[in-house]
C-alpha cells in the first residue's frame, strides 16, 4: 500500500520505486489498471483495484504539491 498526502516530503523517485516494489508496471503509452506513468513532475497511477478512477500526484521538488483523481479515459 502506498499512502501519501499533500505536503508530504517524499521524492518522485521514492514514489516510483515504491510502485515498482508493489509490482506496478511503468508504461507511458498504455495506461491501464496496475500501471503508472511519469512525465516531468507528474506521476499518474491507475490502481489495480480501480475501474474508473486514476490518481495524479504533482510534485514540487521533493514535496507532493497536489493529489487529484481523474478519469483515465478522458484525463
For the chain, what are the domain ranges?
Answer: 12-70
pLDDT at 73: 86
pLDDT at 35: 97
Closest CA to 20 of 10, 12, 9: 12
pLDDT at 40: 95
Q: Are 22 and 9 in contact (CB under 8 A)?
A: no
Q: Coil, strand or helix: which one is 20?
A: helix
CATH number of 12-70: 3.30.2060.10
pLDDT at 18: 97
Return the percentage of the chain with pLDDT > 70, whole number.
Answer: 100
Q: Record the pTM.
A: 0.92
Spatial separation of the C-alpha atoms in residues 70 and 54, rounded to whole Å: 5
With a cut of 50, list the residues of the chain below it in pLDDT.
none
Amino acid at each position: 500500500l502506498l499512502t501519501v498526502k499533500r505536503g508530504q516530503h517524499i521524492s518522485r523517485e521514492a514514489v516510483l520505486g515504491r510502485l515498482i516494489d508493489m509490482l506496478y508496471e511503468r508504461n507511458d503509452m498504455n495506461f491501464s489498471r496496475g500501471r503508472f506513468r511519469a512525465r516531468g513532475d507528474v506521476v499518474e497511477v491507475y490502481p489495480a483495484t480501480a475501474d474508473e478512477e486514476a490518481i495524479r500526484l504533482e510534485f514540487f521538488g521533493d514535496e507532493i504539491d497536489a493529489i487529484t483523481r481523474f478519469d483515465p479515459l478522458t484525463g
